[in-house]
């Protein structure tokens, strides 16, 4: 289906408004960019390593893993998160790579969860080790768990991840539901000609499971082989789903990246993250910290601010915040078009943090 197709107005993804023109100088309070967007959400990658090999996330040829001394220590992660929280961050999510391969993750989360001011602490995982870790992570303080899974078919799961761990992941999902997380979400990267024919199968999971399945448009990153022909747009997903299900849009939360819908007669919900055909840049409140301590105001930012070396060099909190605000001030109004992103040099997704 053509990516130019538009959903009906009732299902259209809303756009938030940013300032029409950049403001003149960085603010001296909060974490606000030049388009007056406040930032309260920090995504922290705790490792660049992963036990899966999904092609859209990691180049086929692999990457050179960071040495242990190049990665942020537990103390450094806690210190940096605490700094961001003191200046307006209320939501923190830990990512990778695959975060569960980091030694001592449960203990690290326990420390992060005690930081005063964090209102939501989440984790994104491939669920390979979640059957064992679901309850310990919940007890440590994780409130929201997002699970990345792109196929419900064993052979296709193997082809996408290059690992034969389908049963482990399904067991992990069930363990997360049993552990009593307030929110369990499945993240599905939809690719035309790869797994787009499974959209209805994923929706069917929400009939009995109290989960939110979020369908994500395929995004271009360094060496992930992105082709526009593989982009399966939000509008096409909605059309597919409405052939079988009745869906009703929920009220949009401020800064939400996904548009969420109730499915008639189902316990769970579905959502759409249409980063390519309907970007949410205007209302973006996200900041990113890579596993090696680089601050990225945007997922697609090429310039990065090195907080690790600044911290190890003895920079004061005031100096760090000044540098962070200056970097944030240079955040663009929106990410470049798809075709330019495809050509842009930068990190692969596994190196940035999912």
Mean pLDDT value across the chain: 88
Q: For position 168, what pLDDT does the model report?
A: 98
Buried b / exposed e over 208-233, threshold 16 CB at 10 Å, is ebebbbbbbbbbbbbebebeeebbbb
Residue 255 placed within a domain: yes
Q: Categorize the per-residue pLDDT at 334 as very low, low, confident or very high, splitting at 50, 70 and 90.
A: confident
Examine residue 122 and state whether it is found in any structural domain, yes or no. yes
Pairing assessment for the beta strands 247-249 and 259-263 based on DSSP bridges: antiparallel
Instruction: Tell me what the mean pLDDT of segment 51-78 comes to.
Output: 87
pLDDT at residue 56, rounded to an integer: 82
Domain enclosing residue 335, as ranges: 29-352
Q: When comparing pLDDT for 43 and 12, which is higher? A: 43
Give the Cα separation of 51 and 176 in Å (integer). 19
Residue in this structure with the two tokens 């596993």, named with its chain if needed: 291
14 falls within a domain: no
User: From the centroid of its chain, how far is CA 334?
Assistant: 17
CATH number of the domain within which 58 lies:
3.20.20.70
Q: Cα 207–254–100 angle (5° rounding)?
A: 60
Q: Which two three-digit tokens encode residue 45?
A: 């990658």
CA gap 118, 138 in Å, rounded? 15
Supply 327's token pair: 């970097």
Higher pLDDT pick, 231 / 137: 137
CB–CB of 212/271 below 8 Å?
Answer: yes
Cβ atoms 280, 252 nearer than 8 A: no
pLDDT tier, 118 (very low <50, low <70, confident <90, very high otherwise): very high
pLDDT value, residue 237: 98
Q: Count of domains in the chain? A: 1
Q: Is the peptide bond before 97 cis (omega within 30 degrees of 0)?
A: yes
Asked if residue 5 is part of any domain, the answer here is no
Identify the pLDDT of residue 4: 43
User: For position 327, what pLDDT does the model report?
Assistant: 96
pLDDT score of 90 more than 50? yes
Asked if residue 284 is part of any domain, the answer here is: yes
- Domain membership of residue 23 (yes or no) is no
With contact defined as beta carbons under 8 Å apart, do 336 and 299 qualify?
no
pTM reported for the whole predicted model: 0.87
Q: With contact defined as beta carbons under 8 Å apart, do 72 and 103 qualify?
A: no
pLDDT tens digit sequence for 255-314: 888 999 999 999 999 999 998 888 778 889 999 999 999 999 998 777 899 999 999 999
Residue 10 counted as domain residue:
no
CB 100 within 8 A of CB 130: yes
1 located within any domain? no
Rounded CA-CA distance 301/329 in Å is 12
Q: How far apart are CA 318 and CA 218, in angstroms?
A: 39
Q: How many CA within 13 A on the CB side of residue 114?
A: 8
Q: What does residue 157 show for φ and ψ, rounded to 5 degrees?
A: -55, -45
**Local structure of 44: helix, strand or coil:** strand
């Amino acid at each position: 289906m053509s990516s130019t197709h538009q959903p009906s107005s009732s299902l259209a993804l809303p756009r938030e408004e940013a300032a029409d023109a950049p403001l003149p100088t960085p603010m001296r309070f909060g974490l606000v960019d030049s388009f007056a967007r406040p930032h309260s959400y920090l995504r922290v990658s705790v490792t660049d390593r992963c036990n899966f090999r999904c092609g859209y996330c990691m180049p086929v040829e692999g990457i050179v893993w960071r040495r242990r001394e190049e990665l942020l220590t537990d103390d450094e992660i806690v210190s940096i998160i605490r700094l961001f929280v003191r200046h307006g961050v209320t939501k923190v999510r830990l990512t990778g790579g695959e975060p569960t391969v980091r030694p001592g993750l449960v203990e690290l989360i326990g420390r992060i969860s005690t930081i005063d001011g964090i209102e939501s602490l989440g984790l994104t995982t491939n669920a390979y080790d979640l059957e064992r870790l679901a309850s310990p992570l919940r007890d440590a303080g994780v409130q929201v768990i997002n699970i990345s899974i792109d196929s419900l078919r064993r052979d296709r799961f193997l082809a996408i991840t290059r690992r034969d761990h389908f049963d482990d992941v399904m067991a992990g999902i069930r363990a997360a539901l049993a552990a009593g997380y307030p929110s369990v979400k499945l993240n599905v990267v939809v690719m035309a000609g790869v797994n787009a024919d499974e959209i209805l199968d994923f929706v069917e999971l929400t009939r009995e499971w109290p989960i939110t399945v979020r369908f994500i448009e395929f995004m271009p990153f360094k060496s992930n082989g992105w082709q526009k022909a593989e982009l399966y747009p939000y509008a096409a997903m909605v059309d597919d789903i409405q052939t079988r299900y009745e869906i009703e849009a929920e009220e949009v939360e401020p800064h939400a990246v996904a548009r969420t819908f109730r499915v008639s007669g189902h316990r769970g919900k579905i959502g759409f993250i249409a980063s390519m055909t309907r970007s949410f840049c205007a209302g973006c409140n996200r900041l990113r910290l890579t596993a090696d301590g680089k601050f990225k105001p945007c997922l697609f930012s090429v310039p990065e601010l090195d907080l690790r070396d600044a911290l190890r060099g003895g920079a004061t909190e005031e100096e760090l915040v000044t540098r962070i605000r200056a970097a944030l001030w240079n955040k663009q109004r929106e990410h470049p078009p798809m075709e330019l992103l495809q050509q842009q040099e930068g990190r692969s997704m596994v190196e940035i943090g999912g």
